[in-house]
Structure 1
Amino acid sequence: MTPPISRTWARRGCTPVVRVRGRSRRRVSIAALTCYKPGERSRLTYRPRRDDGRRDGRKSFSWRDYRGLLQAAHQQLGGPIVLIWDNLNVHLAAGIRQFIDVRDWLTVYQLPSYAPDLNPVEGAWSLLRRGWLSNTALATPEHLIQTVRHGLHVIQYRSDLIDGFLTGTGLTLTATTPRVQPQSVER
Structure 2
Amino acid sequence: MRPRSRTRLCHRLRSHPAGKGARRSMGERDFIALIDGVHQLVRAPIVLVRDRLNTHVSRRMRALVAERAWLMVFLLPAFSPDLNPVEWLWAHIKRSLANLAVMALDRRETLVRNHLKRLQYQPHTLDGFIAGTGLTLDTPTSP
Shared fold (TM-score greater than 0.5)? yes
Matches within 5 A, 1:161-176: 161-175=125-139
TM-score normalized by the length of structure 2: 0.89
Q: Deviations over 1:107-163 (max 9, x none)?
A: 1110111101101111110100112x1222442221111010011111111000111
For 2:127 and 2:101, locate their aligned partners in 1 and report how far apart those are by CA, in whole Å. 30
Q: Which amino acid counterpart does residue 105 of structure 2 have in structure 1?
A: P
Q: Which amino acid counterpart does residue 160 of structure 1 have in structure 2?
A: H
Shift of 1:96: 1.3
Answer yes or no: is the 8 Å Cα contact 1:124–1:155 preserved in 2.
no
- The structure 2 residue matched to 1:112, chosen from 77, 87, 98, is 77
**In the alignment, which residue of structure 1 is the partner of 2:108?**
144
Match of 2:109, SS state, is: helix
TM-score normalized by the length of structure 1: 0.69
Shift in alpha-carbon separation, 1:175–1:78, aligned structure 2, 3 A: farther
Larger relative CO (CA 8 A, sep 6+): 1 or 2? 2
Q: Mark the structure with the bigger radius of gyration.
A: 1
Q: Which amino acid counterpart does residue 110 of structure 1 have in structure 2?
A: L
Moved over 3 A (4+): none
**Greater share of residues in strand:** 1
For 1:91 and 1:158, locate their aligned partners in 2 and report how far apart those are by CA, in whole Å. 27
Identity of aligned residues (%): 39
Q: Which amino acid counterpart does residue 57 of structure 1 have in structure 2?
A: A
- The structure 2 residue matched to 1:92, chosen from 57, 68, 74, is 57
Report the RMSD for the aligned CA atoms in angstroms.
Answer: 1.9
Match of 1:82, SS state, is: strand
Structure 1 unaligned blocks of 5 or more: 1-35, 177-187
**Greater share of residues in helix:** 2
Answer yes or no: is the 8 Å Cα contact 2:52–2:78 preserved in 1.
yes
